[in-house]
């Protein structure tokens, strides 16, 4: 059986969960609390990070970037990247936008301050960091709305890893009640379409230990 080592609030793990669903690949999941630095897990991935994917034949692929590219190369029935080098460059640009820029400017702050500090009982939330994230997320929502107004999907005419990256990062923020959806109607409509996809619905049932989501988190119409 294919196994995904993940954590509930890890946006990068969410990307792989959605991707595996979109590609019709069966998998089981195993929670890995990477901060415990289990020796058995360190032996699987010296970076001690999730996601880590173990394929049915036992071989392992470590980390977001390697896993998404590996799945795209290996399971081509449901392509998620486009068909020309230019299309793929645009999808990858947007994946990087969410994985690097959104995560650095928004996700990293809120996950550290609102989830990790609580889970690890280590310090109290830094209100400056939360304020910065709350400011920055509006700019990202506007960019999503800008793209959604001009394209069928974020990366172009086709559903792609760009949509998967965006929904994976945003859904963790939405779980924290941190997305001001009223601020951008087009971004909200795109997210509504995403929520109704069978690949995304399982995320809406997630429960982060010790932290309940707001009521609208699982609503398809919010």
* List of residues contacting its own copies (CB under 8 A): 46-47, 49, 59, 61-67, 69-70, 73-74, 85-86, 88-90, 92-93, 95-97, 100-101, 143
* Spatial contact of 10 and 50, defined as CB atoms under 8 Å apart: yes
Q: Between the CA atoms of 59, 201, 168 and 89, what dihedral angle is there, to the nearest 10 degrees?
A: 80
| Minimum CB–partner distance for residue 89 and its own copies (Å) | 5
| Minimum CB–partner distance for residue 66 and its own copies (Å) | 4
Residue 88 vs 169, nearer CB to its own copies = 88
Residue 143 vs 159, nearer CB to its own copies = 143
Residue 35 vs 65, nearer CB to its own copies = 65
| Minimum CB–partner distance for residue 60 and its own copies (Å) | 9
Residue 70 vs 219, nearer CB to its own copies = 70
| Minimum CB–partner distance for residue 28 and its own copies (Å) | 20
Q: 222 CB contacts (<8 Å, ≥6 apart)?
A: 181, 192, 216
* Spatial contact of 7 and 32, defined as CB atoms under 8 Å apart: yes
User: Where would I find the H helices in the chain?
Assistant: 11-22, 39-44, 64-74, 85-96, 108-110, 117-119, 127-150, 161-175, 185-195
């Amino acid at each position: 059986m294919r196994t995904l080592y993940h954590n509930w609030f890890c946006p990068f793990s969410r990307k792989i969960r959605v991707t595996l669903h979109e590609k019709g690949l069966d998998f089981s999941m195993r929670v890995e609390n990477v901060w415990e630095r289990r020796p058995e897990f360190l032996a699987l991935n010296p970076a001690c990070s999730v996601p880590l994917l173990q394929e049915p034949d036992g071989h392992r692929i470590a980390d977001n970037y390697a896993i998404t590219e590996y799945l795209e190369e290996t399971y081509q029935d449901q392509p998620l990247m486009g068909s020309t080098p230019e299309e793929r460059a645009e999808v990858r640009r947007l994946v990087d936008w969410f994985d690097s820029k959104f995560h650095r400017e928004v996700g990293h702050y809120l996950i550290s301050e609102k989830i990790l500090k609580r889970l690890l009982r280590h310090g109290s939330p830094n209100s400056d960091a939360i304020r910065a994230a709350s400011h920055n997320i509006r700019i990202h929502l506007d960019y999503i709305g800008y793209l959604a107004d001009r394209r069928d999907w974020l990366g172009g005419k086709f559903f792609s890893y760009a949509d998967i990256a965006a929904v994976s990062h945003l859904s963790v923020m939405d779980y924290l009640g941190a997305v001001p959806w009223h601020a951008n109607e087009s971004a909200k409509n795109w997210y509504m379409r995403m929520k109704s996809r069978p690949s995304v619905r399982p995320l809406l049932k997630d429960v982060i230990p010790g932290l309940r989501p707001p009521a609208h988190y699982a609503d398809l119409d919010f």
